[in-house]
Each structure stands twice: as C-alpha cells, then as structure tokens.
Amino acid sequence: MRTATERRELLKAVYEEARDCRRCPLYQTRTTVVFGSGNADAELMFVGEAPGANEDRQGLPFVGQAGKLLDKLLGEIGITRQDVFIANTIKCRPPDNRDPHPNEIEACNEYLRRQIELIEPSVICTLGNFSTKLLRADGTGITRLHGREETRVIGTRAVHLYPLYHPAAALYTPSTLEALRADFHRIPQLLALGAPPQPEPAIAIPQPTELIPEPEDQIAGPEEPPAVTVPEPAAQLGLF
C-alpha cells in the first residue's frame, strides 16, 4: 500500500506530465492545463466535462457560475471544496467551449484514470453526459441515469459511481436544479457505505528462462538445479 505522501508525489508527477501534454491538438489553443484541484486523499471525487474560459485562465476547475452552484450544493450537505477532488474528462479547454471530440477524450483518458488510481476515492460523481458515458463505458445519457448509484471498476479501482446533472445545465432550468439538489442530498449516504470491495491486484506470472545450449566441445560440469523465480508479494506490485 502506498503512503499518503507517496500518492501525493505520484499525483504531482502526473500533473507535471499533463502540464506539457501535446497528445491532441488542444495544446495549440489552451492557455493552461486544468489538471484538477482539491484533496488528494478525498473519499469523494467529481468529474466534469471540460474547462471553460474562466478555468482556462485560472488553471482551476469549476471557478465560474457552475462552480459557485457546485460549492453551494456541497455546503448544503456539509461538505466543502477542500474535502473533495474535482477534475474533468479533458484537461484543456476546447475552442469556443465546444463539446470535446472523441480523440481528445481518448488522449486525456489516461490522466483521469491515473488520478482515480492515486486518489482512491470511494464515490465518484460524474457531472453530465461526457464523464458519465466515459466512466461507464456506455452510451446511456444522464437523463436516464442521474441519481442511480452503481459499483464500477475504473482502471484498478472499484468505486460507487453516481451520475449527476452538470451544474451548468441546472443554472437556468429550475426542474433540473431541483433534481440535482435531490440527488446531491444522497451523497452522504453513499460516503457512509465506504469503498466497495476492491479487485485483486494482477500478479505477473514469471516466464521460463530460455536455456542456452552448451557448445559441443565444452565438457559440462555437474548439472545444477534450475533457478526458481519468486514473484513479488502483492503489496510490492506497482512500486517499481
């Protein structure tokens, strides 16, 4: 198991990698990479869609009107932004706030999954269609799924996945805001469940060593027993 310090250092390394990312054309138009912000030890994580203009300028997610609504809804259930971690499906702003393209989501997907692996949240709330479809690996829309928790394995981490309407969609639609608020008030119940049972870590199976034949004119000495390769303990996997 990684210590909290180790996880933070690894998360910083992912940030440094993302900060100079050129995996898709969005690097040409961004002001800054919006990696995510919050508590690296958070039990609750939010995943939105993409940075907007304010986020692109400040380098932080959800700092506009949708972010203010998110903060308000968190306050209603006794949680602050410092208690959670907030990220997006992609880390760079699409021009003119257009929808992310599939190739952009695919290029950024590894960063998000590494964030989830390192932060180790118990509950992930997806905000809107893009993050919900990505983390569920399914095309079902948010209108059918909002407020319906399910257990999902994302990368190496099992979480309670909880789809919600995006706060931006609720800003000017009272019925959507009402539904979002009702769904938000169930979050403390999900956090009280703790993390779901985690999948067993994969253990690499040692491959047999290829034998090198002796030259015909070389006199072989007494045969020695073959070396035995001992797999690393599960607790050490992934540290190297």
Task: Name the residue among 118, 125, 115 with its Cα closest to residue 148.
Answer: 125
Question: Beta strand 85-88 with 37-38: parallel, antiparallel or unpaired?
Answer: antiparallel
**Residue 219 belongs to some domain of the structure:** no
Concatenated DSSP letters of 122-173: SEEEEESHHHHHHHHTS---HHHHTT--EEEEETTEEEEEEEE--HHHHSS-
CA distance linking residue 118 with residue 36, whole number of Å: 13
Res 4: pLDDT: 84
What 3-state class would DSSP assign to 234? Answer: helix
Q: Which residues of the chain have pLDDT under 70?
A: 202-240
Residue 63 structure tokens = 């700092």
Residue with token string 């709330």: 125
What 3-state class would DSSP assign to 98? Answer: coil
**Residue 146 belongs to some domain of the structure:** yes
The residue range of the domain holding 141 is 4-192
pLDDT tens digits for 131-147?
Answer: 999 999 999 999 999 99
| Angle (nearest 5°) at CA 234 between 232 and 240 | 60
**Residue 115 belongs to some domain of the structure:** yes
CA distance linking residue 105 with residue 101, whole number of Å: 6
Res 3: pLDDT: 85
Res 240: pLDDT: 20
| Angle (nearest 5°) at CA 121 between 42 and 109 | 110
Res 209: pLDDT: 45
Total structural domains within the chain: 1
Res 201: pLDDT: 79
pLDDT tens digits for 15-46?
Answer: 999 999 999 999 999 999 999 999 999 999 99
**Residue 225 belongs to some domain of the structure:** no
Find residue 127's DSSP bridge partners.
164
CATH code of the domain covering residue 34: 3.40.470.10
Res 206: pLDDT: 56
**Residue 198 belongs to some domain of the structure:** no
Res 237: pLDDT: 24
Show the DSSP H helices in the chain as ranges.
4-19, 53-58, 65-76, 102-119, 129-136, 142-145, 167-170, 174-184, 187-192
**Residue 143 belongs to some domain of the structure:** yes
**Residue 15 belongs to some domain of the structure:** yes
What letter represents residue 155's amino acid?
A: G
**Residue 205 belongs to some domain of the structure:** no
